[in-house]
Amino acid sequence: MSTHSSGDSPVKAPGLPADQVWAEAAQALGYAGAGAFNMAALVVDRHVAAGRGEHVAFRFIGESGERREITYRQLAAESDRFGNALKALGVAKGDSVFLLCGRRCELYVAVLGALKIGAVVAPLFPAFGPEPVRNRVAQAGGKVLVTTRSAYPRKAQPIRAELPTLQHVVLIDDLDAGPLAETLDWAALMAAASTAPALVPTTADDPALLHFTSGTTGTPKGALHVHGALLMHDATARRALDLRPGDVFWCTADPGWVTGMSYGILAPLSVGVTSLIDEAEFDALRWVSLLENEGVQVWYTAPTALRMLMKAGPGLFAGRRFPALRFIASVGEPLNAEAVIWGRQTFGLSIRDTWWQTETGGIMITNAAAEAPKPGAMGRPVPGVAAHVVRRVAGEPPEVIETPDTVGELALETGWPSMFRAYLGQPERYRQCFAGNLYLSGDLVRRDADGDYWFVGRSDDVIKSAGHLIGPFEVERVLMAHPGVAEAGVIGKPDPVAGETIKAFVMLKRDVAPSEALRAELLAHARKRLGPAVAPREIAFAETLPHTRSGKIMRRLLKARELGLPEGDNSALE
Amino acid sequence: MDQEQLRTALLAIIKTLAPETDTAQIVGSLPLRKQIDLDSMDWLNVLAAIHEGLGVDIPETDYGHLATLDSLVAYLAGRLAKG
């Protein structure tokens, strides 16, 4: 393999050597580089000890507009209580605690309380149906699930009998409907819990977070992150998002996805800002009002949301001013040039793209605050991170591409603090992500002569809908579980708002006739099991599905046909 | 179209986009999206179907009136009455 010294590369070397960047990050957190390290203690208790306990950590805006604030001191105390409640239930260091809940205060308390006692926090997206929940809890052997009274009967109760490891379900009573059998009540649990410090000694290398992500084939992968990832969260919050202590910050991502955890909870708390949390679903008017009225200074959002705001038209912004707003960044999928230009016209600010993945745990590539971004480009690696464009060569180390504007796979030199440490229970799949000292991202990019990276596409069949990765196999498997379906192939269909939406091609069993009623039945079947975020939006009946000689469905060909594109090299077809 | 017909038309739209929904269980006075699984994309599709089926184009600035089935019906009745 060729060497990767950044001096040989045409990429502008980051201003500081990686060691120095991470040493500075450790110093900022008061960490000597060895010994105790607990991300929850560092992001809340540290501020209380430093006399900043009365600062507001989160400002929740309820669905009807009601406001609720929680200070760092209250968050420290409540998370101790929840940590103690978990201990009383027999939860020990290393056990996994799953969360399936909207953006309410209890969710944030639960994350921090579980982290304090060394449990591994596994957040789930609230729009998941029971099948994604079952699959993920089963893979991790989840011991506790924290969810809501309204979600439990639909999303967890139907699959609970299939989850023998799941010892406790804690319900937040969002309906005021009273207790349910075989569950524990959040309020009662908290009232009975000790208020003593809950901290269990952990180090920077102990597992802390489990985020599930999707591949083309097989089950979703549980990417495991360690407490030390906080070094990355803190450093990138300051450098890539320009977060400063005392800011009002709004990360619109749900903590069920990695962005909502890394930059919706941990990074902003670490810096000591006040985070705005909107408990409601996306609503254009509401969002613009929140930006204006809550004095948001830094806003981290997603292209899908930006496109929905653009679609609402300029009338939405007429007469509004955003004097507090200083910095806007975006994540989840490439930010199109039109959105960057719209941002300049609407807010007088350039919206900055950030590129990273569940596996990287933190922002890797961005348009730095100091420079005007090129509309449509991802930007450059953050300090401490070294990136390359590579070409995989069968049986050999990947070839590093130095020629500008040549498409290849984005690869990152290993060693940044928030790099994932395992795919839970799938060591072979983890190993396949690396070649020598490079992490291979699976994203295709090109790098221009200035050193700016541009996103080109995925190197696999993973679907990106509204910024979230969806594995086609997870959807196909559920469709194929329907008695009328012989086989299914699932693709991402380009969509002006969501980037891609999920379309399924379904081949029926020989004795089953296609009909509108069956199409509705299949849609209901999929939505009920997968939830609306993962289920197909469109189902088409197909006479046959294309296969490779080895029997795999050729999703790429389905997609080419859908788009009316040339079908390319079909030599591997049956 | 009276309010009862509007309600029936809306439930039919929801049933088409989210056929797993038991529309008989929807309580008109409670937030709709707390009772059934509609995400933001589903919701945009509901609004597009209202535009197509009932001829009412709802501007984003009016989304605040649409949280419950009752408020949605009342809003659409008002819009249709104005012509």
- Considering chain A, what is the average pLDDT of its residues? 92
* A486, A374: one domain: no
- Tokens linked to A416: 């940044």
| pLDDT for A11 | 38
Is A175 in the same domain as A264?
yes
Q: Do B38 and A532 touch (CB under 8 A)?
A: yes
Report the C-alpha gap between A89 and B16 in whole angstroms: 44
- Chain-chain contact of B60 with A497 (C-beta, under 8 angstroms): no
Number of domains chain A contains: 2
pLDDT at B61 over 80: no
**Rg, chain B, Cα only:** 12
Per-residue pLDDT, A4 = 39
* Residue position matching structure tokens 């912004």: A317
Instruction: Select the residue of A281, A308, A465 nearest B33 (Cβ to Cβ).
Output: A281
CB A568 within 8 A of CB A170: no
CB–CB of A295/A274 below 8 Å?
A: no
Upper half-sphere CA count for residue A470 (Cβ side, 13 Å) = 31
CB atoms within 10 A of CB A307: 21
Question: Could you read off the pLDDT of A224-273 as tens digits, one per residue?
Answer: 999 999 999 999 999 999 999 999 999 999 999 999 999 999 999 999 99
List the CATH number of the domain containing B9.
1.10.1200.10
For the ranges A95-99, A330-334, A383-387, the lowest mean pLDDT is seen at: A330-334
Does A123 lie in the same domain as A85? yes
What string of DSSP letters covers B20-58? T--GGG--TTSBHHHHS---HHHHHHHHHHHHHHH----
Same domain for A36 and A155, yes or no, is yes
Q: Within this chain, do residues A399 and A474 fall inside the same structural domain, yes or no?
A: no
* Residue A569 falls inside a structural domain: no
Q: Which residues of B touch A (CB under 8 A)?
A: 16, 18-20, 31, 33-34, 37-45, 59-61, 63-64, 67
How far is residue A59 from each of residues A123, A146, A228, A305, measured CA to CA in Å?
21, 21, 27, 21
Q: State the pLDDT at residue A508.
A: 94
Same structural domain, A407 and A346: yes
Does the beta-carbon distance from A154 to B41 stay under 8 Å? no
Which one of B37, B63, B67 has the shortest CB-CB distance to A285?
B63
pLDDT tens column, A60-75 = 999 889 999 999 999 9
A393/A470 same-domain check: no
Determine the Cα–Cα distance for residues A157 and A182; give it in Å rounded to an integer: 10
Rounded mean pLDDT, A192-219: 93
Domain end marker among A447, A475, A496: A447
Q: What is the DSSP letter of A553?
A: B
CA dist., res. A353 & res. A448, Å (int):
16
Phi and psi angles of residue A91, each rounded to the nearest 5 degrees, phi first: -80, 130
Average pLDDT over residues A353-358: 95
Domain match, A388 and A337 both: yes
A289 touches chain B (CB under 8 A): no
- From the CB of residue A6, how many other CB atoms can be counted at a distance below 10 Å? 17
Give the separation between CA A134 and CA A202, rounded to whole angstroms. 29
The band of A178, judged by pLDDT with boundaries at 50, 70 and 90, is confident
My answer on whether A442 and A476 are in the same domain is: no
**Do A520 and B19 lie within an 8 Å CB cutoff?**
yes
Cβ of residue A463 closer than 8 Å to a chain B Cβ: no
Q: At what angle do helices A516-530 and A130-140 cross, to 10 degrees?
A: 40
- Count of domains for chain B: 1
Reply yes or no on whether the pLDDT at B83 is more than 80.
no
Residue that has been written with the tokens 């939830």 in this structure: A531
Q: Is residue A455 in a domain?
A: no
Could you count the other beta carbons within 10 Å of the beta carbon of residue A566? 7
Residue at A335 is within a domain:
yes
Q: Is the pLDDT of residue A189 over 60?
A: yes
Number of helical (H) and strand (E) elements in chain A, helices listed first: 18, 28
CA B29 from chain centre, in angstroms, equals 13
How far is it, in rounded angstroms, from Cα A538 to Cα B22? Answer: 20
A223 part of a folded domain: yes
Query: A107, A100 in Cβ contact below 8 A?
Result: no
Amino acid in the structure at residue A129:
G
- Nearest CB to B20 within list A282, A284, A528: A528
For residue A477 the two structure tokens come to: 């498997």
Q: Name the closest residue on chain A to residue B58, using Cα atoms.
A: A312
Looking at A385, A420, A447, which one is the last position of a domain?
A: A447
List, for residues A529-561, the tens digit of each pLDDT value: 999 989 999 999 999 998 877 677 888 889 988
> Taking the CB of residue A451, how many other CB atoms lie within 10 A of it?
16
Is A573 within a domain? no
Task: Note whether A366 and A281 are same-domain residues.
Answer: yes
- pLDDT-based confidence at residue A450 (cuts at 50, 70, 90): very high
For A143, A162, A247, A371, A454, the CA distances from A525, given in Å and listed in that order, are: 28, 19, 45, 49, 39
* A393: pLDDT strictly greater than 90: no
Residues of A within 8 A of B40 (CB-CB) are 281-282, 304, 308, 466
Could you tell me where the DSSP H helices lie in A371-471?
Answer: 427-431
* A393, β-bridge pairs: A396
Confidence of residue A566 (pLDDT cuts 50, 70, 90): confident
pLDDT tens for residues A5-62? 333 333 344 467 888 999 999 999 999 988 999 999 999 999 999 999 999 999 999 9
Torsion of CA A59, A63, A66, A67, to 10 degrees: 0
Q: Are residues A190 and A144 in the same domain?
A: yes
The ipTM (two decimal places) reads 0.90
Provide the residue range defining the domain that includes B43.
3-82
- The first and second tokens of residue A364, run together, are 């890797």
User: Which pLDDT belongs to residue A12?
Assistant: 40
Residue-wise DSSP of A201-258: --BTTSEEEEEEE--SSSS-EEEEEEGGGHHHHHHHHHHTS---TT-EEEE-S-TTSH
Residue A181 lies in a domain: yes
Domain containing residue A495: CATH number: 3.30.300.30
Structure token pair of residue A435: 């070649």
Q: What is the reported pLDDT for A3?
A: 37
Mean pLDDT of A566-572: 55
- Using the structure block, give the residue that is written with the tokens 């933190």: A362
User: Whole domain around residue A101: which residue ranges?
Assistant: 6-447
Q: Are A385 and A512 in the same domain?
A: no
Predicted TM-score (pTM) of the model is: 0.87
| Residue A442, SS3 per DSSP | strand
- Whether A236 maps to a domain, the answer reads yes
Average pLDDT over residues A483-506: 92
Largest CA distance in chain B: 34
